[in-house]
Amino acid sequence: MIEEKSTSREVGNRRGLQAPHVRKYQTIHPKVDLIQRRIVGPRGLDEVKKFGREWASGKETKALQFAPAEAPPALVRAPSMPPIAAPPLPPTRFIFFVGGGGVGKSSCAAAAAVTLTEKEGPVLLISADPTHSLSDVLLSKLTDTETQVKGTKGLYAREIDFPLWFANYRKKLRDLADGMFGPEVKGEPFALDRELLRNLFDFAPVGMDELAAMTALTDALVQERFKRIVIDPAPSATYVRILELPAVAKAWFDAILKVAQKQKAKGAALAAFCEAQIKHVERFERALLNPSECRFVVVTRGEELAVPAADRVVAYLKAKNLPVERVLVNRVLPKTTDEVTEERRKNELEVAKVAEKKIGLPVTMAPALGRHPAGLRELKAFRTSWYALSAAAGKSKAA
């Protein structure tokens, strides 16, 4: 959805953010349709048909083309004092920022981690999203090891390399299995068990690569090196991948464990490894369910169609008895004298009020500050600009 051409600085900023991405798509494919972002999306069959005709005509694509000078704004605008200070983030070890793709989870998670580091001490920020963006947000090259972010006294960040981690993990399991069985011999009495383990290793359940994130998080929790652990997981339209892992992982380890136990003393090493992994998974489960150890922040946008998606994520978390802290509505337009932009801002506020009432959680607003925040200074400015939608949700001093 492309912003229309406007004299409004805020709308111009948003078009500037979209420009490089559209140009990149246009180098990949000769025909890229551009569709104008609407304040209220089409509803009902008649409106959808009208929308389809407008799209097919190509008039919007022609009207929305970007001028060569359109580009992301140079700086984030300095925020004004928030009208109602956002409540502080809860004093839990785990803070998950969850939500659909493109809502700004990474920016929100990074901004929270930066300010928490300044106020409280060592913080670990982990990207459990296979398509990482924390390096870009922090302007710091990250790897699959905990790296201290330059310019901070205690912020460490990590972008998990899921394929590499799980390949090494599977090799470790194979080595333990080979040590249990020894060299393969034709007609060996445990040939079926050997083949069963091979199948378990080679055809691990879907999502087992998330074990990399779960292991990293549980290790950080147990070691107590960090006061806070902020997590940027994969986008979630209806569920959060890493939260589905414990049940699947325990069943997988239990199947491996049963084969190892059949070999008695020879399988002791593999059995001990599986038992330790099951305990690790159970520790992660306990942390997730404990409101004093873990909270979830659902990130969304102030758009009509975004509310049902956020509602589904909240319902999913609550169905699992997981502690949901709040809904964070990101990139809300600031007040302006431009009539079209002001109408959109009011619509975003109305959408946020509907979300607060429908979902039943306090809503925190995160204003759009020109381009997407990047670097420590901009992330800190972004976090301090958050405000509560209603006075009841913002009585505490902002964290």
Residue (of 77, 90, 141, 97) closest to 116 by Cα position: 90
Q: What is the pTM of this model?
A: 0.84
Q: How confident is the model at residue 396 (pLDDT cuts 50, 70, 90)?
A: very low
Q: Say which residue the tokens 């928030």 belong to.
A: 82
Q: How far apart are CA 88 and CA 243, in angstroms?
A: 25
Neighbours of 188 (CB within 10 A): 13
Say yes or no: domain 83-399 is CATH 3.40.50.300.
yes
Residues 316, 96: Cα–Cα separation, whole Å: 14
Which band of pLDDT confidence, cut at 50, 70 and 90, is reported for residue 259? very high
What's residue 167's pLDDT? 93
Amino acid identity, position 47: E
- Name the band, by pLDDT with cuts 50, 70 and 90, for residue 240: confident
Separation between Cα atoms, residue 335 and residue 223, nearest integer Å: 46
| C-alpha closest to that of 194 among 181, 207, 209, 203 | 181
pLDDT-derived band at 191, boundaries 50, 70, 90: confident
Instruction: Tell me what the pLDDT averaged over the chain comes to.
Output: 87
Sequence-ordered list of residues with C-beta below 8 angstroms from that of 212, at least 6 positions apart, any chain = 160, 161, 162, 165, 166, 169
Q: What is the pLDDT of residues 29-86, one digit of tens each?
A: 888 888 887 767 778 888 888 888 888 888 888 888 888 888 777 655 545 556 687 8
Query: Tokens 């670097």 appear where?
Result: 375
Instruction: Answer whether residue 207 shows pLDDT above 90.
Output: no
How, if at all, do strands 94-98 and 363-367 pair?
Answer: unpaired
Closest CA relative to residue 127, chosen from 135, 117, 119, 116: 135
Question: pLDDT tens digits for 278-333?
Answer: 999 999 999 999 999 999 999 999 888 888 899 999 999 999 999 999 999 998 88
Nearest to 257 by CA among 150, 141, 177, 369: 177
- Boundaries of CATH 3.40.50.300 in the chain? 83-399
